[in-house]
Structure 1
Amino acid sequence: MSVFLHLSYYQNIRYSLGLYLLPAIIGNYISSTQSAVNPNAISKNRKALPIDASFKLPAPLPSWPPSEGFGSGIIDLGDGLQVCQLSSFNKVWATHEGGPNNLGASFFEPSQFPQGFSMLGSYSQPNNTLLYGWVLAGRDDTGSALKQPIDYTLVWSSESLRIKQDGVGYIWLPSPPNGYKVVGHVVTNSPQKPSLRKTRCVRSDLTNECEIDSWIWGPGKESDPNGFNVYSLLPRDRGTQVMGVCVGTFIAQNTLTALVPLVCVKNMVSNLSCMPNRNQIQTIFQAYSSWIYFHSDEQYLPSLVNWYFKNGAFLYKKGDESRPVPIESDGLNLPQGGAEDDIYWLDLPVDEGKKR
């Protein structure tokens, strides 16, 4: 069986801040008392959807050994911009047709903000999965990192759609002041423009470009490149040396060829204080690593990575599979930087005689 060198897995840990903010990711929560659409009021005319249930960890988080910043729930990205990760939501609007599996999608705004933090954008996901997502909220420590928008532009509304939906949804694009950019849409169930205090724009030098990722929803059963679609977003440049940070928001577009008007935030400081130390990494593995039990007659047993490198593993490259390269014992000839996801993988030699 091949061992794939999937660099993006490790990058996701970085730019989603998943490890940094782990204590905040206990599970998703929807506030039904504050929600514009009660998530518990499931119509008798439809079946319960996967998104009606929230993802939760199977057990409480462990107690973390002390460190400088890991597990605090807040990251300082530099130049006065601090972010936290929110997974508590108020549902704003939902549709029950279109999108993946023709089950529709739901749109949320984050809730339960820590003191001083503001919304950067709304969240959306398809209805065919458990509620699992998050968005970043921002706090300005200098008075210039974040600013209110000066207006809103209506991108799209569901008024004219003849589909199953909870009310009518409106997706707005904030208009940033000069020198600032937008990192997320605002979703409402009213035709009135949102309050200017609803969200924040980010100073331009604290942002990076984004690109569309996976399809969240569209009126049809498949994505229409010439129609309206909602996509998740990722930083355009990703890798171990790249500083873009995913915000968790989405992009609403009327055509696939339109420029992406949203950006992500950027880590301005090379500060590893929020990464776990050795003791905390051990705690993470003890809490979440899988136990694998081998039969006494099992011929394949776990080995050190260096042993695998020294005993016949090869580095394969997409498009050049016939010429794999032996891996150096210290791994120095492995791809670096994380900019070539899914191009390289590790495997044993094709020639049985070369396997050790």
Structure 2
Amino acid sequence: MDPYRILVLLSFFLRLHEGWATAVQGGQFAKGSIEVGGLELREHTTFTKIWTAAPLNSGDSSATFFSPSSLPSGFFPLGSHAQSHTPNPSPTRALIARDTANSLASPTDFTVLFSSNFSSPSPVFFWLPIPPPGYTAAGHVITTSPQKPPLSSLRCLPNHLLEPCHSDAPTWSPKSDLPFTVHLSYSLGTFVAGGEPPLHCLKKNDIALAAMPNLTQIRALIQTFSPIFNFHPKELYLPSSVPWFFNNGALLYTNSSSNGPVRIDPPGTNLPQGGTNDGAYWLDLPTDPASQNTIKAGNLSFAEAYIHIKPTLDGTATDIVFWLFYPFNGPARARAGFIEISLGRIGEHVGDWEHVTQRFSNFDGEMTQMYFSQHSSGEWVNAAELEYAAVGERRPAAYATLHGHAFYSKAGLVLKGEAEKIGIKDETAEEGAVMDAAAGCLVVSAEHLGLEEPAWLQYMREWGPKVSYDVDKELGKMMRFLPGKMKRGLRTLVGRLPKEMLGEEGPTGPKGKASWNGEES
């Protein structure tokens, strides 16, 4: 068996929870704390509410602010915590730290950053900790008192453990005309406040090497938590393995040679390796119609889930990404009220890659969230809100949309990008074909373990040809029988579709996606 290949077989003699408890033992993963750089880090979930900011004006955001409480002996906060009021907030947690080798320091003073009573009967004060030389305050403090917080209210971290990090949208901004915002460090669980507050995160590589799971633990995570993929009962285009796609006649084309296309060997070793998507190569179906139809249908019995293991949240969490390969993506469909609209060939393309991501805490080994990719975007769903295979099971369902293969956490109909009451149909349903991600999977990349990646993963060009049909012509066929307002809505809607979904560009493989080395969009 290749060193990076893990074939997970379901056990009929071992309950999932019992097997999980045994399999994760060893190393720092899932032991409850992470030791790095002379300090011990833990996740903390007990807080005292300090203040809630309610919006006063249209467009204002709202948030609740907390202080970690009931800390274990010897542990200190790294700052206060903030939770934005969103429909699907992330689980509330913050890191606390204990000194094991004189690596923590108290602030030398506090300076008030901002105070106001604009949305509460009581005032609120945001405090900037002043760190000693060589240290950084990774979080700020909030109080309802004008008195400075005690120096023992947090600890500063040594500079060598931190690095500047990207700031997402503010967790809270009081008013549009005030240059004051609050940004949350999602890895630390602390916030910083100010006009353009600098955000610091833990150095990912230092934490990841210490805390991420090994191959045995990855096997246990997959066996216990991997998804069950559900396909629409009317789905004509199912996934396959990459070698099956190559074995059945997929062709490699290039614009740099007058020679015809070439067959691809099953491991993909004759594909161009590395580089960037320069448009010089692309894959396509075989030329004879019978072989084309065979490949388009895919083959579920040969399908594999290709797994990428990567650190996230500065190495305090692990993402396990399950990629599915579809030889063909079917045509898109729209809906206007109760009218179903076929979009002809719009949406058809060769070589479709879709994925779901499961996020695990490196502190306790539990799945916290799951990401469902949906064309050029997607959504995170908290573990408690997922649909599971059975009572007592920990394996969530993932529903693939008809023809388009976007993933959702529950079956049903979603209209994407509505314009003039017309939307692209993302339709999922039960009672279709099912794929068990744990029955046969391949770990294709885990950089912290130094695993060798398969040759086809290094192919950075397009897995399908550019569009071979006229989008305007296809739209013309569909719009002949629609009233003028619906015609405008349909044209606007199609214009908003991602180029890969339209088929205007051949899709790239997993390693060419922005999420491979970054966060999910």
Q: Which amino acid aligns with 2:108?
A: I
State the secondary structure of the residue aligned to 2:169.
strand
Q: Which residue of 1 aligns with 2:464?
A: 348
Query: Would you say the 8 A contact 1:62–1:283 is kept in 2?
Result: yes
Distance across 1 between alignment mates of 2:218 and 2:224: 10
Larger radius of gyration: 2
State the secondary structure of the residue aligned to 2:220.
helix
Distance across 2 between alignment mates of 1:133 and 1:111: 13
1:248 aligns with 2:189: yes
Q: Which residue of 2 aligns with 1:139?
A: 98
Higher relative contact order (Cα pairs below 8 Å, separated by 6+ residues): 1
* Count of equivalent residues: 260
1:72 aligns with 2:31: yes
Structure 2 CA distance for partners of 1:273 and 1:77, relative to 1, 3 Å: closer
- CA RMSD across the alignment: 3.9
Q: Which amino acid aligns with 2:131?
A: P
Distance across 1 between alignment mates of 2:97 and 2:57: 30
State the secondary structure of the residue aligned to 1:330.
helix
Query: Would you say the 8 A contact 1:230–1:251 is kept in 2?
Result: yes
Please list the CA deviations of residues 254-303 of structure 1 after superposition, one character each: whole Å capped at 9, or x if unmatched.
x34xx62x533336747735222334323323443331234677432233
Q: Which residue of 2 aligns with 1:46?
A: none
1:191 aligns with 2:146: yes
Please list the CA deviations of residues 12-35 of structure 1 after superposition, one character each: whole Å capped at 9, or x if unmatched.
xxxxxxxxxxxxxxxxxxxxxxxx
Query: Would you say the 8 A contact 2:78–2:156 is kept in 1?
Result: yes
Distance across 2 between alignment mates of 1:182 and 1:84: 18
- State the TM-score, normalized to the length of structure 1: 0.61
State the secondary structure of the residue aligned to 1:292.
strand
Structure 2 CA distance for partners of 1:322 and 1:266, relative to 1, 3 Å: closer
Q: Which residue of 2 aligns with 1:7?
A: none
Query: Would you say the 8 A contact 2:63–2:85 is kept in 1?
Result: yes
Q: Which amino acid aligns with 1:332?
A: Q
Q: Tell me, which stretches of 5 or more residues in structure 2 are unaligned?
A: 1-16, 254-270, 284-453, 470-502, 507-521
- State the TM-score, normalized to the length of structure 2: 0.43
Q: Note the C-alpha offset of 1:168.
A: 2.3
Distance across 1 between alignment mates of 2:72 and 2:57: 33
Distance across 2 between alignment mates of 1:249 and 1:138: 13
1:127 aligns with 2:85: yes
Q: Once superposed, which parts of structure 1, at least 4 consecutive aligned residues long, lie more than 6 Å away?
A: 312-315
Q: Note the C-alpha offset of 1:176.
A: 0.8
Structure 2 CA distance for partners of 1:206 and 1:267, relative to 1, 3 Å: same
Which among 183, 206, 212 is matched to residue 167 of structure 2? Answer: 212
Distance across 2 between alignment mates of 1:285 and 1:149: 43
Which among 458, 479, 484 is matched to residue 332 of structure 1? Answer: 458
Q: Which residue of 1 aligns with 2:335?
A: none
More helix by share: 2
Identity score, percent: 33
Q: Which amino acid aligns with 1:91?
A: K
Q: Which residue of 1 aligns with 2:136?
A: 181
Q: Which amino acid aligns with 1:77?
A: V
Q: Note the C-alpha offset of 1:118.
A: 0.9
Q: How does 1:144-155 map to 2 (within 5 A)?
A: 145-155=103-113
State the secondary structure of the residue aligned to 2:167.
strand
Q: Which residue of 2 aligns with 1:227?
A: 179
Which among 95, 109, 125 is matched to residue 170 of structure 1? Answer: 125
Q: Which residue of 1 aligns with 2:202?
A: 265
